[in-house]
Structure 1
Amino acid sequence: MQAPDFWHRDGLLARLLNPLGGIYHLAGVARRAAARPWQAAVPVICVGNLVAGGAGKTPVALSLLEILKDRGLRPAALTRGYGGAAAGPLRVVPGEHDAADVGDEALLLAAAAPTWVSRDRVAGARAAAEAGADIIVMDDGFQNPSLKKDLSLLVVDAGYGLGNGRVMPAGPLRETAASGLARADALVIVGEGYIGETEKNLAKDLAVLRARLQPKDDALRGQRVFAFAGIGRPEKFFETLRGQGAELAGTESFPDHQPYTAATLARLRSAARAAGAQLVTTAKDAARMGAARPGAGAPDIAVLDVDLAWDDKEALLRLLERLPELRARTSPP
Structure 2
Amino acid sequence: MALGTSLQRRWYGGGKPPLWTLPLEALYRAVVARRAERFRRDASSVVKLSVPVVVVGNITIGGTGKTPLIVALARAMAERGFKPGIVSRGYGGSERGPYLLTGSDDPSKVGDEPTLIRQSGFPVAIGRERPEAAQLLIDAGCDLILADDGLQHHRLGRDVEICVIDGERRLGNGHLLPAGPLREPASRLAQVDFIVVNGHTGQPNEIVMTLEGGIAINMADPSRTAPLADFAGRPAHAVAGIGNPARFFASLTAQGIAVDGHPFADHHAFTRDDLTFADGCPVLMTDKDAVKCRSFARENWWRVPVSASLPESFYDEVAACVARKQS
Q: TM-score, normalised by structure 1?
A: 0.85
Q: Single out whichever of 213-222 and 38-47 deviates more from structure 2.
A: 213-222
Gaps of 5+ in 1: 195-199, 329-333
Question: What is the rounded CA distance, in whole Å, between the counterparts of 1:219 and 1:141 in structure 2?
Answer: 35
Match of 2:193 in 1: 185
Measured in 2, the distance between the counterparts of 1:42 and 1:327 equals 9
Distance 1:98 1:229 in 2: 19
- Is 1:320–1:327's contact at 8 Å kept on the other side of the alignment? no
Q: 1:61 to 1:14 in 2, by over 3 A?
A: farther
Shift of 1:243: 2.3
2:238 is the alignment partner of 1:238: no
Q: Hey, what's the Cα distance between the residues in 2 that align with 1:188 and 1:164?
A: 19
- Structure 1 equivalent of residue 149 of structure 2: 140
Taking a change above 3 Å as real, the CA distance of residues 78 and 219 of structure 1, as seen in their structure-2 partners, is same
Partner of 2:21: 17
Task: Single out whichever of 239-248 and 118-127 deviates more from structure 2.
Answer: 239-248
- How many Å separate the matches in 2 of 1:18 and 1:320? 41
Displacement after TM superposition at 1:94 (Å): 2.0
Contact residue 46 and residue 139 of structure 1 kept, 8 A: yes
Q: Distance in 1 between matches of 2:37 and 2:299?
A: 52
Superimposed CA distance per residue, residues 1-22 of structure 1 (whole angstroms, 9 cap, x where no aligned partner): 7562111144343454123112
Instruction: Give the whole-Å Cα distance in 1 for the aligned partners of 2:116 and 2:209.
Output: 19
Task: Report SS of the residue matched to 1:116.
Answer: strand
Shift of 1:222: 4.3
Is 1:108 matched with 2:116?
yes
Q: For the aligned residues, what is the CA RMSD? A: 2.1
Deviates more, 1:219-228 or 1:84-93: 219-228
Listed one character per residue, the Cα deviations across residues 113-137 of structure 1 (whole Å, up to 9, x for unaligned) are 0000111011111221121110011
Structure 2 distance, partners of 1:149, 1:33, is 16
Any idea what SS the aligned residue of 1:226 has? strand
Of 69, 79, 82, the match for 1:73: 82
- The aligned amino acid for 2:323 is P
C-alpha offsets along residues 232-263 of structure 1, whole Å, 9 cap, x if unaligned?
11010011112233332x11110000111122
Spell out, residue by residue over 1:26-48, the C-alpha distance to the aligned partner (whole angstroms, 9 max, x if none). Answer: 21121122222111111111000
> Counterpart of 2:218?
none
Q: Is residue 319 of structure 1 aligned with residue 327 of structure 2?
A: no
**Uncovered stretches (5+) of structure 2, i.e. residues with no partner:** 40-44, 216-225
* In 2: Cα distance, 1:165 partner to 1:215 partner: 31
Give the CA deviation at 1:226.
1.4
Greater CA drift, 11-20 or 144-153? 11-20
The residue aligned with 1:282 is 286
Task: Give, in angstroms, the shift of residue 158 of structure 1.
Answer: 0.4
Superposition pairs of residues 147-166 of structure 1, within 5 angstroms:
147-166=156-175
Name the amino acid aligned to 1:281: M
Q: Normalising to structure 2: TM-score of the pair?
A: 0.87
Provide the residue aligned with 2:307 in structure 1: 307
Structure 1 residues 167-226: Cα deviation after superposition (integer angstroms, max 9, x where no partner): 000010001111x213211100011145xxxxx6xxx7xx42111001053712141321
Aligned-partner residue type, residue 36 of structure 2:
R
Moved over 4 A (4+): 325-328
| Cα distance in 2, alignment partners of residues 19 and 316 from structure 1 | 42
2:229 equivalent among 214, 221, 225: 221
Matches within 5 A, 1:45-124: 45-95=54-104, 97-112=105-120, 113-124=122-133
Question: Could you say if the C-alpha distance between residues 22 and 326 of structure 1 is closer, same or farther in structure 2, counting changes exceeding 3 Å?
Answer: closer
Q: Which amino acid aligns with 1:220?
A: L
Q: Is the 8 A contact 2:214 2:228 kept in 1?
A: no
Q: CA contact under 8 A between 2:275 and 2:283: conserved in structure 1? A: no
Q: Partners of 1:63 and 1:80 in 2: how far apart?
A: 19
Q: How many residues end up aligned between the 2 structures?
A: 304
Match of 1:212 in 2: 210
Contact 1:90 1:117 in 2 (8 A): yes
Counterparts in 2 of 1:103 and 1:5: CA distance versus 1, 3 Å: same
One-letter code aligned to 2:318: L
Partner of 2:185: 176
